[in-house]
């Protein structure tokens, strides 16, 4: 599952895009991990995330509310939180380290920012997964700017034409950028669609 990798830069860039994931490992530390995964999300909520979710059972919209999502977390869940700010990321990583959950944590984002934030939070980078971009028949792809929004759902549940539809809604004043970005976040069950970044991009693209 590489769902938080391969996020496309577009004209907007990636300076405001970080995803933090927490998961147990099968047969090593998964037993009793549910409450720790819940604690990870509760800590995230204290640090103003742009979004968050449970990749196993779905996001808050699908599960009928944040409390239900938190109550339903299972031992083998994969939970995530997205941030748009380095300071929040540092503060959150410090809190997760302090909580000593004992579960694996993965941070996605521009490498120089992630390295800096890890150093400030006192956590050590261990293993890295690098995207080598897109190969094959790339003529089949939507534009880079549309991909900069849609690839924030790594499972492709945010279709390019839905992004285009939301840009039109913002352009003609039927929705604010944040409302449109929130609608786009709903199909992303893992909760890694960065709503703040999506809203900024929708605003920029609607002004073109």
| 64-103 binders of another protein (CB under 8 A) | 76, 78, 93, 96-97, 101-103
- Asked whether the beta carbons of 44 and 101 are under 8 A apart, the reply is no
**Nearest approach, Cβ of residue 199 and another protein (Å):** 19
The Cα 154–Cα 107 span in angstroms is 15
Question: Which window, 44-52, 82-90, 109-117, 172-180, contacts another protein (CB under 8 A)?
Answer: 109-117
Residues 31-50 that bind another protein (CB under 8 A): none
**Nearest approach, Cβ of residue 201 and another protein (Å):** 15
Residues 160-189 that bind another protein (CB under 8 A): 160-162, 165, 186-187, 189
CB-side neighbour CA atoms (13 Å) of 89: 28
Q: Which of residues 150 and 206 has its CB atom nearest to another protein in the complex?
A: 150
Pair type for strands 51-54 and 79-83: antiparallel
**Nearest approach, Cβ of residue 38 and another protein (Å):** 16
Question: Which window, 44-52, 80-88, 139-147, 173-181, contacts another protein (CB under 8 A)?
Answer: 139-147
Nearest-10 crossing angle of helices 195-206, 160-171? 60
Report the residue count for the chain. 208
Residues 7-36 that bind another protein (CB under 8 A): 7-9, 14, 17, 19, 21, 23-26, 28-29
Q: Which of residues 20 and 199 has its CB atom nearest to another protein in the complex?
A: 20
**Nearest approach, Cβ of residue 143 and another protein (Å):** 11
CB-side neighbour CA atoms (13 Å) of 63: 22
Which listed residue (44, 81, 147, 175) binds another protein by CB under 8 A? 147
The Cα 54–Cα 201 span in angstroms is 25
The Cα 168–Cα 188 span in angstroms is 21
3-state class (DSSP) for residue 116: helix
What DSSP element (H or E) covers 79?
Answer: strand 79-83
**Nearest approach, Cβ of residue 83 and another protein (Å):** 13
């Amino acid at each position: 599952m590489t769902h938080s990798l391969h996020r496309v830069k577009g004209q907007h860039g990636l300076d405001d895009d970080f995803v933090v994931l927490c998961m147990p490992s099968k047969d090593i530390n998964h037993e009793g991990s549910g409450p720790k995964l819940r604690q990870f999300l509760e800590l995230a909520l204290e640090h103003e995330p742009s979004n968050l979710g449970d990749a196993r059972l779905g996001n808050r919209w699908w599960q009928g509310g944040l409390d239900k999502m938190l109550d339903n977390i299972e031992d083998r869940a994969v939970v995530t939180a997205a941030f748009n700010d380095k300071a929040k990321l540092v503060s959150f990583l410090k809190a997760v380290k302090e909580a000593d959950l004992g579960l694996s944590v993965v941070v996605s984002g521009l490498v120089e920012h992630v390295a800096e934030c890890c150093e400030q939070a006192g956590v050590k980078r261990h293993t890295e997964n690098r995207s080598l971009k897109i190969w094959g028949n790339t003529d089949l792809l939507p534009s880079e700017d549309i991909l900069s929004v849609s690839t924030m759902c790594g499972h492709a549940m945010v279709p390019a034409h839905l992004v285009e539809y939301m840009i039109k809604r913002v352009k003609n004043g039927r929705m604010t950028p944040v409302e449109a970005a929130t609608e786009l976040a709903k199909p992303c069950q893992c909760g890694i669609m960065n709503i703040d970044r999506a809203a900024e991009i929708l605003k920029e693209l609607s002004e073109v």
